[in-house]
Copies of this chain bind each other. A is one copy, B any other.
């Protein structure tokens, strides 16, 4: 009886941990969406709300870290429970980072100016949609303990990287054609890079979900297609 009581208190705490991670993920999702919207619509009020909302993500991160430490110290969990607990810590770290990138995107929303080419303003929301669906699906995979879905999220990252490559080349070309766009395009470059990084963190989370569910590592030949660091002349290389 006493034993039952202990087990169920542990289960409660473990569920509380899982719920916290998913709620943190929900806020991160919302902040990515509103940050991209703030950029597209140059909506200063929305940008400010997004920036302020990041503090909530940081609070969750601290709470999850405390709960994990507590669970490890008091409950001495094993096997899949242990993987859930260590996994929660890893995922919270990725979500905290994602929150920072969303906040940074929102901050740049107010600095882009009007002298940026309109075509790029299509590519950014498209990147935003891809990233958002990756984050959403990896949280679903976590919630449903679905390792196959996690693999599928990981496999979508190269397409995001390729879109980023083409945005990068495009932006360099615009800057060369019209130096008045340089400041605005530089902010867009960083926004695109931030979105690409969010994709990397979604991929990290997918690997963690896989490990939680299966107890082994996802095969390591992680696809990677961001090659912008090798671009030396966009007008030729494109």
Which A residues have a C-beta under 8 Å from some C-beta of B? 62, 68-69, 72-73, 76, 78-79, 82-83, 86, 89-90, 93, 104, 107-108, 110-113, 172, 175-176, 179, 182-183, 186-187, 189-190, 193, 217, 229-234
| Residue from B73, B110, B111, B112 in contact with A82 in the complex, judged by beta carbons closer than 8 Å | B73
Q: Which residues of B contact A90 (CB under 8 A)?
A: 89, 93
Chain B CB within 10 A, most for which of A89, A189, A217, A229: A229
| This chain's copy number in the assembly | 2
Taken together as a complex, chains A and B put the C-alpha atoms of A72 and B89 apart, in Å, by 14
- With contacts A73-B78, A76-B76 taken as known, whether A183 is within 8 angstroms of B86 at the C-beta atoms is no
Instruction: State whether A69 and B86 are in contact (beta carbons under 8 Å apart), knowing that A175-B182, A229-B187 are contacts in the complex.
Output: yes
5 A-B contacts (beta carbon < 8 Å):
A69-B86, A76-B76, A111-B231, A182-B182, A187-B229
**A232 nearest CB neighbor, chain B only:** B111
Residues of B within 8 A of A179 (CB): 175-176, 179
Q: How far is the CA of A176 from the CA of B184 in the complex (A)?
A: 12
Are B172 and A176 in contact (CB-based, < 8 A)?
no
**A111/B230 contact (C-beta < 8 A), A72-B72, A73-B79, A190-B193 known:** yes
Inter-chain CA distance A82–B189, complex, in Å, is 42
With both beta carbons as reference points, the residue of chain B lying nearest to A204 in the complex is identified as: B93
Check B93 against A72 for contact (C-beta < 8 Å): no
A112 surroundings in chain B (CB, below 8 A): 232
CB of A12 to closest CB in B, whole Å: 20
B193–A182 CB distance below 8 A = no
Give the residues in chain B near A234, CB-CB below 8 Å.
Answer: 183
Q: Is the CB of A232 within 8 A of B183?
A: yes
Are A229 and B78 in contact, CB atoms less than 8 angstroms apart?
Answer: no
Q: With a CB–CB cut-off of 8 A, which chain B residues contact A230?
A: 107, 110-111
Tell me whether B190 and A182 are in contact (CB under 8 A).
no
* Minimum CB–CB distance for A64 against chain B, Å: 12
